[in-house]
Amino acid sequence: MDKKTTRPPTTPASNRRIGPPSSATRSAGRPATAGALRYNPDLNRQLNLNLRESDPVEVYCRIKPLEGDGDDSCIRILDDSTLALIPPETSAAWKLGNAKEQHYTFQRVFGSDASQKVIFDSIALPLVKDFLQGKNALLFAYGVTGSGKTFTMSGNSSESGVMPRCLDVVFNSIAKNRASKYVFRPDRMNGFESQTKADAMLERQKEMHERQRETAKTPRRNGRPPIAEYGIDQYMNRVRDETSLPVGNEDSLYSVFVTYIEIYNNSVYDLLDESPIDIMKTRGALQHKLLREDYNHNVYVNGVAEVEVESPEEAFEVYLKGQRRRRMAHTALNTESSRSHSIFNIRLVQAPLDPEGEEIMDNSKMINVSQLSLVDLAGSERYHRTQARGDRLKEAGNINNSLMTLRKCMDILRENQKFSANRVVPYRESKLTHFLKNYFDGEGRVRMILCVNPRNDDYDENLHVMAFAELTQEIQIVRPQEPKKFEPMTPGRHKANELYKEAKRQLVEEKIVEENELPSSDVQLVFGLGIPIPLCKISKSTEEEALSTLRKALELRLKGKEELQKFIVEKRQSFRLRLVGIEREMLTLRSENSNLRSHIERVTTEKEKLDNIFRATLFEKGELETKYKEQEAHIHQLEEELLNCKMELRQRDLAHHKEKENLKSDMDLQRELDAMKQERNLQNEKAKLEAEFRTKEKTIIAVRELVSNIDAPRSSRSRQSKSKSSKSAALLELSTTSSESDLPSAVSKADRITRSKFMSTPVLHESVVIPSSANRRSALVNNPRYGRARSTDRDVWIEHTDKAVVLKPQTVFQPVMKKKKSVTQLKSADDMKGASKYCLLTQEPDSEGDIETRLYKGEINRTITGGANMVLQDVEALRQTSPKPTPSRKRTSSSPSGPEIHRPRFDRGLETHYDEVEKRCRVGVSYRDSETTRNGRK
Ligand SMILES: Nc1ncnc2c1ncn2[C@@H]1O[C@H](COP(=O)(O)OP(=O)(O)OP(=O)(O)O)[C@@H](O)[C@H]1O
């Protein structure tokens, strides 16, 4: 079935792609000129630079007939290529006052009477000619809405437009060279592949079955869906264009593919897509496509449906199908189809025939594709004119944007060419210019049909489109290269094959020979014999004319044979020379090869050495890594140990601290116990002293009684005077006595002056000043301790004077206070701040009516807690006795005849004095045994 066996193993059976799949396919997919360029990738750039081989964009102007009879035209044709635009009174320019007639020149201007045929022949036919020669071409209609763009491009049933006529001419031209359907198939990457006739036949059969199945479901006409189904059946009655043009290569086979896309709101939609449209859906009703660039930077619509068509009718049917889909899509999108750009692409795929002229060459690199793009642009309009709102405004914006980008690209192209500038052309700013990019970059001829509606209302819009169109003509498009001719190939082999087949068919039909008796095809043989032998019947040998004709033909053939032989000798010689050259080249290559081999060997040895070093290094590295890991583990272990040690140390510290605390509390406890013990001792001693005191008191009482008994006979008067004088003397003595030896007399006069040393009972504190009775007894008035207390410069006194003190006495007992703070009441420990000595002065009458002044002296010590601890050291008492005896005083003595004895006040006990001080001090007062304190201080 398939006699070509050079298939890559991974390629499917139906695919005859040869060589590297990607590049081969892509190369095959390139448009014709690109096919020529594939042998020199830089040629495109070179061509772009070489503006001598370029053609301008050709702009043709077509003026639409005026619709109403009363309409005025704003356009006047001056000649074949020039027109005048006359501003009407309604135009903006007129209103602004700068209205003047404008003249525009185009390639050609067609009046409203120009037929579709004239338009096609003048504008499109040359492009179709190029297209058949394997070149690309772009034709686009541009103009204001309603100016006749669609009419020009598509036409109607009675007047076919450019597109159907193009299809007519293409099919007319390739009629004899048309390849069977499915010989070529698109690879959906802008390329084409070829497959064998047999594979193609299989696909055709498959398609036929599918069609039959569909026909069974839907009634069809001639195996095709009824045109009414597409809703525009009138097109089918059109008059076909009979023009036929020569194809590029007679020995090639051609297939036609069409694609139909739409650019709406800057999105590309495939109008031949088979997926159904849900007209109930506004969003996602259509799947938009992406623009991609192939290997050779040719822009294509990714995944676009490329439909192979075998006739203009079939192509037109596909177009109508696309139109129907377009209408459905716009119904779903709730818009108008004229608000989008539509692009109908006709692609001509050709591949040369093999030497027998039987099948196409089994080489995808030889496939050539040319493309003719017919673009019907959306109308260019201004917003204010359409008064568009919402979606309409958006789509108008998109249309204008894409047209604006088109203008921008044209402007920059013109600028680049005119001023040798190198500005980047913004093709990618809109899908329209992106798709058309290749044409402007020099991949084919570009022509524009400027459609103009001459009515006055369109004047302002026409002004803009004409200005743009006129400037567009200045753009030069690089002339595309001629498509590559695949030499050496015997020309005419297709025709020869056809003739041979025809002759064979006739011979078989006339039963001159059997079909299997003749070889399949030997085109080479036919061509090797030269010109065909004329058909002439020779009935007689005398028919000179026929014989001479035959002789001439044979002579010509002989001549041709000689030429061919000569040609063969030449070819053989050149072949031999080439062979010698190749042999030489081979020898050089062999020596180079052996050099390279030895070099490779050296390199291999070197590599092996390096490999060994590498392995050794790897091994060493492994060992080092193991050691490193061991060391790491060791470090880790040491770290753990250190941590443990630290923890142990901490625990020990804690234990030590705890022990210390315990010891401290033990010591405190011990100290408390000692204090308690000491207190107990003191109590015992106190009790002992009290007992002693009581004994001594009894003795004194006894002495007194004895004395009173002795003095009983004396008169009370002398007793009084004596008593008074003795009191005075005692007072005098008290003030003057300074030696300790005078103490007994002082004591005997202690009725009036009492120096008290208090027997203290530690009631609240263990350390209370307790002047022992022994001390008291031995205490002398002139004892320095009882003199005026002298303080140092540093001592600060608290002079606490009771409110009841009427008269401050000036006695020797009062301390000298160099620094003092006088208060009448101690409210808090803060009052004692900074003071180190304390002195309290009280005054009150006693029970006998005498005024008793007392001086309490003490030391102030700071406590650890920030308070003050006052230690009372001395109490001095001064009694002022009136010389007049008061009845109460007279009767103080138990014995009326005895001397008046004032009971000393020092027997009042510690509590009395403690209460005395505490009454006046609202702070804690501490009494401490002065001796103990003194000892403690030492
Ligand atoms: N040269 C012409 N001769 C006769 N009728 C014409 C001609 N040009 C346009 N018409 C008619 O004018 C009408 C509008 O034309 P058409 O639809 O082609 O305009 P358009 O420019 O494509 O508009 P849009 O921008 O909306 O697509 C159509 O009915 C069409 O038949």
Alpha carbon of 271 to ligand 1 centroid (Å): 22
Nearest-10 crossing angle of helices 390-419, 459-472: 30
What is the per-residue pLDDT for 618? 94
Q: Is the pLDDT of residue 674 over 90?
A: yes
Integer Cα distance of 174 and 131 in angstroms: 12
Alpha carbon of 150 to ligand 1 centroid (Å): 6
- Give the ligand 1 atom nearest the CA of 63: 1
Nearest to 737 by CA among 665, 787, 673: 787
* For ligand 1, mutation pick of 64, 73, 75, 151 (most atoms within 8 Å of CB): 151
What is the per-residue pLDDT for 46? 44
What is the per-residue pLDDT for 445? 87
Mean pLDDT (whole number) for 816-823 = 84
Question: Does 248 count as an annotated binding residue?
Answer: no
Integer Cα distance of 920 and 925 in angstroms: 10
Written as six digits, the tokens of 744 are 């007994």
Written as six digits, the tokens of 854 are 């007392």
Nearest to 48 by CA among 637, 476, 653: 476
Question: Does 806 count as an annotated binding residue?
Answer: no
Q: Angle at the Cα of 660 (from 659 to 661), degrees rounded to 5?
A: 90
What is the per-residue pLDDT for 261? 92
Question: Does 397 count as an annotated binding residue?
Answer: no
Q: What letter represents residue 688's amino acid?
A: K
Question: What is the CB < 6 Å shell around ligand 1?
Answer: 64-65, 143, 145-151, 338, 378-379, 451
Nearest to 335 by CA among 419, 415, 262: 262
Question: Does 97 count as an annotated binding residue?
Answer: no
User: Which residues lie across from 654 on neighbouring strands?
Assistant: none
Residue with the larger pLDDT of the pair 271 and 732: 271
Q: Is the pLDDT of residue 653 over 60?
A: yes
Residue with the larger pLDDT of the pair 46 and 359: 359
Mean pLDDT (whole number) for 390-398 = 56
Alpha carbon of 82 to ligand 1 centroid (Å): 22
* For ligand 1, mutation pick of 61, 63, 64 (most atoms within 8 Å of CB): 64
ipTM for the predicted complex: 0.97
Q: State the CB neighbour count (10 A cutoff) for residue 66.
A: 16
What is the per-residue pLDDT for 11? 31
Q: Is the pLDDT of residue 880 over 90?
A: no
For the stretch 759-793, pLDDT in tens is 333 333 333 333 444 444 444 445 555 556 666 77
Q: Kindly report the length of the chain.
A: 938
What is the per-residue pLDDT for 641? 95
- Give the ligand 1 atom nearest the CA of 378: 25
Helix, strand and coil percent figures for the chain, each rounded to 5: 50, 15, 35
Calculate the average pLDDT of the chain.
Answer: 74
Highest mean pLDDT among 63-72, 241-250, 488-497: 241-250
Lowest pLDDT segment from 147-161, 653-667, 687-701: 147-161
Alpha carbon of 476 to ligand 1 centroid (Å): 30
What is the per-residue pLDDT for 47? 46
Mean pLDDT (whole number) for 841-866 = 80
Look up residue 444 and give its DSSP letter.
Answer: E
Strand, helix or coil for residue 230: helix
Q: Is the pLDDT of residue 855 over 70?
A: yes
Alpha carbon of 264 to ligand 1 centroid (Å): 20
Look up residue 745 and give its DSSP letter.
Answer: H
Written as six digits, the tokens of 218 are 């839907």
Smallest CA separation from ligand 1 atom 20, residue:
146
Alpha carbon of 709 to ligand 1 centroid (Å): 170
- Give the ligand 1 atom nearest the CA of 451: 21
Nearest to 125 by CA among 295, 241, 282: 241
What is the per-residue pLDDT for 572? 87
Nearest to 352 by CA among 480, 257, 481, 494: 494
Strand, helix or coil for residue 920: helix
Mean pLDDT (whole number) for 454-459 = 86
Mean pLDDT (whole number) for 405-432 = 85
Lowest pLDDT segment from 26-30, 619-623, 634-638, 649-653: 26-30
Q: Is the pLDDT of residue 894 over 60?
A: no
Query: What is the residue whose two structure tokens read 């002339």?
Result: 479
